């Protein structure tokens, strides 16, 4: 199920599902790839997960605004550290208020790693009384490391 297709009266019935939040960026990837590369890749990964498990997850749209200050000299659209942490916290708060108790942040950009972990630390403290709340974070390349190693043709 895609969240953007749900009507607000449908939301309580979705609360037992895993809410998947794909996180991308808009920044350079060399001269040969578009600046939307990270968002495109994580979007395709998330789309495939939704296709395979549409009855178990609620997929949010790709959050294309990432934390990419290290790419400003090449050109990017980026949030600074604290605003990015607050964006993640705000999205999670919204989902929690909607009834979500299982949230999975699926990362597609390396620069998002530190702010996401910071947001998770803050959310854990903020919602410590919600014993049934689980917020997880992982990058797709870590989840698929074994598969990537098996098909990689170039050295690391």
| Whole-structure pTM value | 0.94
Classify domain 14-142 at the CATH topology level. Answer: Rossmann fold (3.40.50)
Buried b (16+ CB within 10 A) or exposed e, 120-142: beebeeeeeeeeebebebebbee
Residue 152: predicted pLDDT? 84
Residues 14 and 125: their CA atoms lie apart, in Å, by 25
Residues 74 and 127: their CA atoms lie apart, in Å, by 38
- What is the residue extent of each domain of the chain? 14-142
Residues 24 and 89: their CA atoms lie apart, in Å, by 16
Residue 141: predicted pLDDT? 94
Residues 53 and 63: their CA atoms lie apart, in Å, by 20
The residue length of the chain stands at 156
Residue 66: predicted pLDDT? 97
Residue 149: predicted pLDDT? 86
First to last CA, the chain: 36
User: In angstroms, what CA-CA distances link 46 with 2, 35, 62?
Assistant: 11, 19, 8
Residue 156: predicted pLDDT? 65
Taking 50 as the pLDDT cut, the residues of the chain under it are none
Q: What is the pLDDT of residues 18-52, one digit of tens each?
A: 999 999 999 998 899 999 999 999 999 999 999 99
Residue 13: predicted pLDDT? 96
């Amino acid at each position: 199920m895609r969240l953007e297709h749900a009507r607000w009266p449908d939301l309580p019935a979705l609360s037992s599902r895993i809410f998947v939040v794909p996180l991308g960026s808009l920044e350079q990837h060399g001269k040969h790839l578009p600046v939307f590369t990270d968002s495109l890749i994580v979007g395709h990964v998330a789309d495939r997960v939704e296709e395979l498990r549409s009855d178990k997850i609620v997929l949010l749209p790709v959050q294309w605004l990432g934390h990419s200050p290290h790419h400003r000299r090449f050109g990017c659209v980026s949030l600074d550290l604290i605003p990015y942490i607050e964006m993640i916290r705000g999205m999670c708060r919204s989902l929690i208020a909607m009834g979500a108790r299982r949230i999975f942040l699926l990362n597609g950009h390396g620069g998002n790693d530190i702010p996401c972990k910071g947001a998770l630390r803050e959310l854990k403290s903020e919602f410590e009384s919600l014993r049934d709340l689980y917020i997880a974070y992982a990058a797709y390349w870590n989840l698929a490391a074994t598969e990537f190693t098996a098909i990689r043709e170039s050295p690391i």
